[in-house]
Amino acid sequence: MNSCKPNTEFAPILVADIGGTNARFALITAFKPELNQFVIEHNITFPSADFASLEAALTHYLSQVSHIQPTRACLAVAGPIKAGQVHLTNLGWHFSVEQVKSEFNLAQLEVINDFAAFAYAAPYLDLQQNITVKTGQADADATIAVMGPGTGFGAASLVRSNQGSAVLSCEAGHISLASVNELDSQLINELRKQLPHVSVETVFSGPGISHLYQAMAAVKGVEAKNLTAAQISELANSGECPVCDATLNQFCDWIGSVAGDLALTFGALGGVFIGGGILPRMQERLLASRFVERFTAKGIMSQYVSQIPVTLVIQGNIPLIGAAACLHVNEQA
């Protein structure tokens, strides 16, 4: 977004997107209701591994914007938050929300996971920057679901009612993966030979693509190679490996069923937004797949899900927008 002078009536919000690879910080200096957009300034990314702790990274960022002293903050993190304690296992970072709040003299500090941030961001997305996977008629007052595969599989919902709204996080990546047709069943049977529990994340994640390739090769009676997800994608897109191609096609088809299941679970008549690190790089394949057919194949509830629009989110700054929205929404409540 374009930079502009801070709104003196808007107390700046310090926001962050903390992942295993990068730590991104920014300041939200205004909200423009006519555009339904937050103004993001001083957006700086640091390699997470350069710092021993969140506190060290945050201190370094604030030294870069010393002319502004935010008193409220929201951090989106790729890790669990339990009883005010945050563990970022990939980094070895651990921090207490209350201690960080006190150390940096913050009147308000919220820490949310990255898919909760995605859910908070959903009402503020610019649909023209994103891709319609399935058309539909969203109910502006109904629940929104967000989900997507990346390092793992994440999902959350923004529950909206006459009483207000709230974000619900969940562990949808660890529910059992369901089969819909014979190929799904054969693949699950192969996956069970290697894994005690075949979850959604078993297939729909970076490591999951490799699991799915191994199972697809076994079903097709072909000897599997030791390929990474990136290699599978490269060989599929070049046409060099029919099994890799079938793997990615099945990935896009089958995730339609998963998305439809979660739309029903959340009652997501406000729409489904899919993102994560993988699907935005598979746009053409996803749009050419049976995603929509499988999303809506829900028996007596097919009519229910047929009205739900599905959007592939490729817009940038989603965790930062979501972190800002978390405080903004609660402030408006």
The overall average pLDDT reported for the chain is 93
Asked, for residue 66, whether it belongs to a domain, the answer is yes
C-alpha closest to that of 165 among 109, 110, 122: 122
What is the C-alpha separation between 246 and 190, in angstroms, rounded? Answer: 16
Alpha-carbon dihedral angle through residues 38, 39, 42, 44, given to the nearest 10 degrees: 40
Lowest-pLDDT range, 3-12, 49-58, 193-202, 301-310?
3-12
Q: Is there a single domain that holds both residue 223 and residue 208? A: yes
> What pLDDT band is residue 1 in, cutting at 50, 70 and 90?
very low
15, two tokens? 């926001």
Assign 21 a pLDDT band (cuts: 50, 70, 90): confident
Give percent above pLDDT 70 in the chain: 96
Alpha helices (runs of H) in the chain, residue ranges in sequence order: 54-64, 97-103, 114-121, 182-192, 200-203, 206-219, 229-238, 242-266, 283-288, 291-296, 302-306, 318-332
Nearest CA to 202 among 157, 156, 251, 244?
Answer: 251
In a domain, 122, yes or no: no
How many angstroms separate the CA atoms of 240 and 232, rounded? 10
pLDDT of residue 95: 94
Q: 99-135: per-residue pLDDT in tens? A: 999 999 999 999 999 999 999 999 999 989 999 999 9
Exposure string of 270-282, with b = 16+ CB inside 10 Å and e = fewer, is bbbbbbbebbbeb
Q: What is the CATH number of the domain that holds 22?
A: 3.30.420.40
Span between the terminal Cα atoms of the chain, in Å? 26
Going by pLDDT thresholds of 50, 70 and 90, the confidence category of residue 90 is confident
Q: Report yes or no on 172 lying in a domain.
A: yes
pLDDT classification of 331: cutoffs 50, 70, 90: low
Same domain, 23 and 155: no
| Residue 2 covered by a domain | no
Mean pLDDT of 264-278: 96
Domain with 89 in it: 13-113+317-332
Please tell me whether residues 174 and 264 are part of one structural domain.
yes
CATH number at residue 308: 3.40.367.20
User: Residue 119 domain-assigned?
Assistant: no
Same domain, 200 and 92: no
Rounded to two decimals, the pTM is 0.91
Question: Which residues on neighbouring strands pair with residue 31, listed in sequence order?
Answer: 38
Q: What DSSP line would sit under 148-174, residue for residue?
A: EESSSEEEEEEEEETTEEEEEE--GGG
| Higher pLDDT among residues 162 and 285, named by residue | 285
What is the mean predicted confidence (pLDDT) over 248-271? 98
